[in-house]
Amino acid sequence: MTALMNTVAILAALSSAAAGFVALSLAMDRHWEGLHGRGNLPRDSTRRMLRWSGGGGLLVSLLVCLNVWGASQGWVAWAGTLTAAAIGLVLVLSYAARAIKRVGWAAGGVSVVALLLVLALALSGGASI
């Protein structure tokens, strides 16, 4: 596996995990109120959509790690990815809570682009994905 493939895979896994954690945090009343004002709670359908998309982001991150690094190293890479994404999210929520929506959209966009790059690199280089 090339260094470029490794870098893009790490970016895909990290941005997917970050987007997933942003969605999961906005499904919580406390963080939703921090963004939209006190007493303003998400509807049940919005909360359900945020939970499913957050879980999906974490699942995509896991699948990237397992497919690129295999089962033995993939789980370890995923644990490190989750740790890095969670620390970044905690810092954003602590110091710039209003920016969390922009961070989530940016992470989601980077995740899509990086996943497409991983797929393109895997198809052109013959690596497993």
In this structure, of 1-5, 7-11, 17-21, the range with the lowest mean pLDDT score is 1-5
> Percentage of the chain with pLDDT > 70?
93
Instruction: Tell me the three state secondary structure of residue 2.
Output: coil
Instruction: Give the residue numbers spanning the domain of 97.
Output: 3-125
| CB contact set of 27 (below 8 Å; sequence gap of 6+) | 42, 47, 50, 51, 54
In the predicted structure, residue 126 carries a pLDDT above the cut 60: no
Distance from C-alpha of 115 to C-alpha of 52, rounded to nearest angstrom: 19
| Higher pLDDT, residue 61 or 123 | 61
In the predicted structure, residue 2 carries a pLDDT above the cut 90: no
Distance from C-alpha of 41 to C-alpha of 98, rounded to nearest angstrom: 16
Distance from C-alpha of 71 to C-alpha of 52, rounded to nearest angstrom: 25
Distance from C-alpha of 49 to C-alpha of 94, rounded to nearest angstrom: 24
Grade residue 98 by pLDDT with cuts at 50, 70 and 90: confident
In the predicted structure, residue 1 carries a pLDDT above the cut 80: no
Please state the φ and ψ torsions of residue 119, each to the nearest 5 degrees.
Answer: -65, -45
Mean pLDDT of 5-31: 88
Report pTM.
0.85
Tally of domains in the chain: 1
24 HSE (CA, 13 A, CB side):
16
The model's pLDDT over 35-59, given as tens digits with 9 standing for 90+, comes to 767 777 777 887 899 899 999 999 9
In the predicted structure, residue 127 carries a pLDDT above the cut 60: no
CA geometry: angle 58, 28, 25, nearest 5 deg: 35
